[in-house]
Amino acid sequence: MGRLDNKVAIVTGASSGMGMEISRLFAKEGASVVAIARRKERLQGVIDEITRQGGKAIAVAGDVTIQADIEKAVRTAVEKYGHLDIVVNNAGLMDNMAPVDRMSDEMFDNVIDVNLKGPFLMFRAAIPEMLKNPDNPKYPAGFGKGAFVTVASAGGLRGAIAGPAYTASKHGVIGLAKNVAFMYAKKGIRSNIIAPGGVATDMAAAITGWDPEGVAICTGDAEISNPRYGTPEEIAMLALFLASDESSLINGATVTADAGWSAH
């Protein structure tokens, strides 16, 4: 028996890093996974690995900032597997850590679009499908229809460890996910947030033109106070818990996963 048996999950940003590990683990635990990312070939490689190991997963190449792509992922989940139970908003984009006076409109808008508008579009598309799910018999009437897990950042809780666009987007998406938690609590949908510290992924590799001053300011404290970097597998384990029925009473929570960094 898997912890997500008979569940259908969408995972965004699933072609690498945390999204890839979340997709792998969810499938291993019995979920049927719809994985969405922009890098089609790399995403298909993740799906092929999951299916070789006996899991259920399909790829949807798409951009989380495009409403039609989000709607396609939700529609694919329902048409292929019959329903939708779980969404992991994981896709993310960093800025170049330039201070506000040197940050371009393009950089700011791109980061906000991926990190904040993307989850908004997914919430809006997925919630109507979750509301169609029957009540979970394990819980009081009206509960257990669906669960969201949004991967934010410790940068959404503090102002001193990331660039301005990334910091603003992660503060914003934490507020958005909490609002969803409260708005839909009595309708059976949960929404929780993971706030990782430093995690060893390749997300930073997509950014060019790093601002030397901003990097020095943002990483100087981190080098001193960050106990260690996490792994994508560690974040996946937390996402599994928050997506599963084991966390049935947890709603609107922001769970830090930073080895104690935020305690500094």
Domain boundaries of the chain, sorted by first residue: 8-257
**What global pTM score does this model have?**
0.94
The reported pLDDT for the residue numbered 219 is: 76
**Would you state the pLDDT for residue 222?**
65
- What is the third-level CATH fold of 8-257? Rossmann fold (3.40.50)
What pLDDT is stored for residue 20 in this prediction?
Answer: 97
CA distance 77 to 70: 11
Structure tokens at 192: 């929780």
DSSP string, 203-259: GGGG--S--HHHHHHHHHHHHHH----B-HHHHHHHHHHHHSGGGTT--S-EEEEST
81, 139, 166, 184: which one is catalytic?
A: 166
Q: Tens of pLDDT along 82-120?
A: 999 999 999 999 999 999 999 999 999 999 999 999 999
Using 50, 70 and 90 to split pLDDT, how confident is the model at 262?
Answer: confident
pLDDT confidence of 198, banded at 50, 70, 90? confident
- pLDDT digits 0-9 by tens, 19-73: 999 999 999 999 999 999 998 889 999 999 999 999 999 999 999 999 999 999 9
229 catalytic per annotation? no
Query: Burial of 238 by CB count in 10 Å (0-12 exposed, 13-18 middle, 19+ buried)?
Result: buried
Tell me the mean pLDDT in the region 68-83.
98
Tally of CB atoms within 10 A around 208: 6
